[in-house]
């Protein structure tokens, strides 16, 4: 049914900014819910950071030093997720005269070969070779599904690894911005196809919009309103351990009756079936509402909880809030935090 729709489904996140000229307070209102596959522990870890000249609240990803979503007292930013066509698989052809070469155009080209070591606690190290063509790493030795396709090597090309990026610097700059102008300067905008001219955001958006309209006009021969109807969806968040019984009773959160459906504002993704209950695969990974007239009372909620420890009270204490459309505060007031603190963790540099 979905494949026969006259337009593509709106699979993605929501992000809203309301100008101060349209609000009662005269200040900007910001809202964001980045859509991702549900998981437990929660995708995001929230942190409030204070320091000399620095006041920040953000949503962090494990292993990434700077918040991907957040706000200070001058600016806020969010993310919208979509499925980019940024990964391609290439079936290479081995040079019959040299197994460490693949054929490129009219000659053999050397593979880059490096040794990787994975240290395993209580066991021997795992040592293996990574072979890489000009397209990317060869997958045959590490993915059994690729290995079943035949003896020819298959390389994966990810666009993110092929071009220089300043994403980390941009998020660092955003979190330290002291004005909206500094926030704009922190975001990196340019087109890699125009070396002589540095393009502005407006120029890039305008060109992209025009190209999208031209492509859609050429591809779509007809339009008709898609049908819709009532659905009963269930949201359950599982951990890798929770996929095995009886561990699921300890580690999983849910199931809950989920608000929303395919295509409305509360956008969630699920597969229709004949059972009348539709397990939800992905949806908002958090919800944020921020009024710059009252930054210290911004609101947020995530699908499960802040903690990744299944015995913690914070493991799933936001699940009911999330599934009933309610919120809790993103606390930035020092007085309010001191009055509600239940414990302290002090880190001492050595």
Query: Which carries the bigger pLDDT value, residue 263 or residue 182?
Result: 182
pLDDT at 202 over 80: no
Measured distance CA(272)–CA(263) in Å, rounded: 14
Tokens 């990964």 belong to residue: 87
Q: Helices in the chain by DSSP H: which ranges?
A: 144-147, 167-175, 180-186, 201-219, 248-251, 319-323, 334-340
Mean pLDDT of the chain: 83
pLDDT at 328 over 70: yes
CATH number for the segment(s) 1-83+166-229+282-350: 3.60.20.10
Which of 23-32, 40-49, 262-271, 291-300 is predicted with the least confidence, judged by mean pLDDT?
A: 262-271
The answer to whether 266 touches 259, Cβ cutoff 8 Å, is yes
Q: Element (H or E) spanning 71, and its range?
A: strand 69-71
The structural architecture, per CATH, of the domain 87-161 is Roll (2.30)
pLDDT at 31 over 90: yes
- Model's pTM, two decimal places? 0.73
Q: What are the boundaries of each domain within the chain?
A: 1-83+166-229+282-350, 87-161
Which of 1-10, 266-275, 340-349 is predicted with the least confidence, judged by mean pLDDT?
A: 1-10
* Torsion sign across C-alpha atoms 178, 180, 181, 182: positive
Question: pLDDT tens digits, residue range 272-310?
Answer: 777 767 888 888 899 999 999 999 999 999 999 999 888
Read off the pLDDT band of 185 (50, 70, 90).
confident
Measured distance CA(197)–CA(347) in Å, rounded: 48
pLDDT over 70 percentage in the chain: 86
């Amino acid at each position: 049914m979905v494949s026969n729709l006259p337009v593509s489904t709106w699979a993605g996140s929501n992000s809203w900014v309301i100008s101060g000229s349209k609000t009662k307070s005269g200040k900007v209102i910001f809202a964001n819910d980045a859509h991702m596959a549900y998981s437990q522990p929660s995708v995001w870890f929230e942190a409030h950071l204070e320091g000399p000249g620095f006041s920040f609240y953000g949503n962090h990803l494990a292993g990434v030093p700077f918040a991907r979503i957040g706000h200070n007292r001058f600016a806020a930013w969010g993310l919208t997720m979509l499925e980019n066509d940024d990964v391609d698989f290439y079936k290479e052809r081995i040079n019959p005269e040299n197994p460490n070469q693949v054929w490129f155009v009219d000659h053999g080209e050397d593979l880059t070969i490096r040794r990787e070591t994975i240290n395993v606690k209580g066991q021997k190290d795992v040592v293996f070779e990574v072979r890489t063509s000009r397209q990317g790493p060869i997958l045959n030795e590490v993915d059994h599904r690729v290995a079943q396709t035949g003896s020819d090597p298959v390389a994966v090309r990810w666009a993110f690894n092929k071009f220089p990026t300043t994403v980390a610097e941009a998020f660092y700059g955003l979190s330290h911005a002291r004005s909206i102008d500094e926030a704009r300067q922190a975001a990196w905008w340019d087109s890699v196809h125009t070396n002589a001219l540095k393009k502005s955001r407006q120029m890039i958006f305008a060109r992209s919009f025009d190209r999208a309209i031209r492509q859609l006009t050429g591809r779509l021969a007809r339009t008709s309103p898609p049908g819709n109807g009532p659905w009963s969806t269930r949201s359950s968040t599982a951990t890798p351990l929770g996929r095995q019984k009886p561990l699921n009773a300890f580690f999983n959160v849910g199931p809950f009756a989920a608000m929303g459906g395919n295509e409305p504002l509360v956008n969630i993704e699920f597969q229709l079936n004949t059972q009348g209950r539709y397990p939800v695969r992905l949806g908002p990974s958090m919800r944020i509402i921020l009024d710059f007239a009252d930054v210290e009372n911004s609101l947020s909620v995530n699908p499960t909880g802040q903690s990744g420890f299944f015995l913690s009270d914070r493991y799933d204490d936001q699940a009911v809030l999330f599934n009933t459309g309610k919120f809790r505060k993103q606390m930035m007031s020092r007085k309010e935090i001191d009055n509600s603190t239940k414990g302290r963790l002090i880190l001492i540099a050595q």
